[in-house]
Homo-oligomer: A and B are copies of this chain.
């Protein structure tokens, strides 16, 4: 349940307020260079440092990766790459109230029922802090993809009902000041993907992307191509269309068609409202989801490209 992919298998571990979060990435070929600075940069993006809409803890986190195995002088050995990020700057005392309170829309209630025990400190394993490991692993994969000419770019394209990016900052500040939260939509584009990635029937590219995105905390929807837009008819879409089809989001029959792959993920407003709960909370989790969407996309692709 804590592993992803059967080609480059990523196993995630660690509690939010334990010793460390970390991961093992197995299946990485020998000889891949790891750009440590780029991974540090992506961790900073994930931490949301300096961005509007994220928790103040973010701005003080200094996520440093400790490499345990599989890497020598910045180059992979072909053996499992293991790493940890120690948990610092945790204030478990801020979360005492979570011991006895189940937040709506969170794992508190379901974990307690399923396991009869939970690490309540900041969400434990269910905390979004776990995504730091995904960012490290995903960006190792991403660098291997870049060498094949494949690039991944995600961005926030909607905050609440606002679609004009120039107005996002102001809206996010206003939401934060009210101690409220707001949803958002992240769009991700993959350029340079060759024709042929994805498998028929149950291992379609869109199935793997959807599963990966829905595994990110707060993600409530996934769509590609026409998605949930029901306005166009078949004639509108296909009368003058050729294959590879431009309205298919880059995927036909479950397989990449050589055009850019484009998909969108909906993130709900966070349930942990600052006006209600002590602790440090994001007012728009979609902001910090952007590098996680990219990282998970990289993990999906590296597992499907053979």
Does A44 lie at the interface of the complex (its beta carbon under 8 Å from any beta carbon of B)?
Answer: no
**Using Cβ atoms and an 8 Å threshold, which residues of chain B touch A63?**
none
| Assembled-state Cα–Cα distance A175/B125 (Å) | 50
**Contact mask A249-280 → B, CB, 8 Å, 1/0?**
10011111110000000101111010110000
Contact residues on A (Cβ < 8 Å of other chain), bracket: 35 or more
Kindly identify which residue among B115, B198, B221, B226 contacts A228, using a CB–CB cutoff of 8 Å.
B221
Residues facing B in A5-44 (CB within 8 A) are 6, 9, 11-15, 18-22, 24, 26-27, 30-31
**Using Cβ atoms and an 8 Å threshold, which residues of chain B touch A175?**
233
| Assembled-state Cα–Cα distance A238/B106 (Å) | 11
**Using Cβ atoms and an 8 Å threshold, which residues of chain B touch A11?**
3, 9, 11, 24, 26, 80
**Contact mask A200-221 → B, CB, 8 Å, 1/0?**
1111101111111111000111
Does A61 lie at the interface of the complex (its beta carbon under 8 Å from any beta carbon of B)?
Answer: no
29 of the cross-chain contacts (CB-CB < 8 Å) are A19-B69, A20-B68, A20-B69, A77-B119, A104-B247, A104-B252, A106-B253, A108-B253, A110-B254, A110-B257, A113-B196, A113-B258, A114-B196, A126-B253, A158-B230, A180-B235, A185-B228, A209-B214, A210-B210, A214-B222, A221-B221, A221-B222, A228-B228, A228-B266, A232-B269, A234-B269, A238-B269, A238-B271, A238-B276
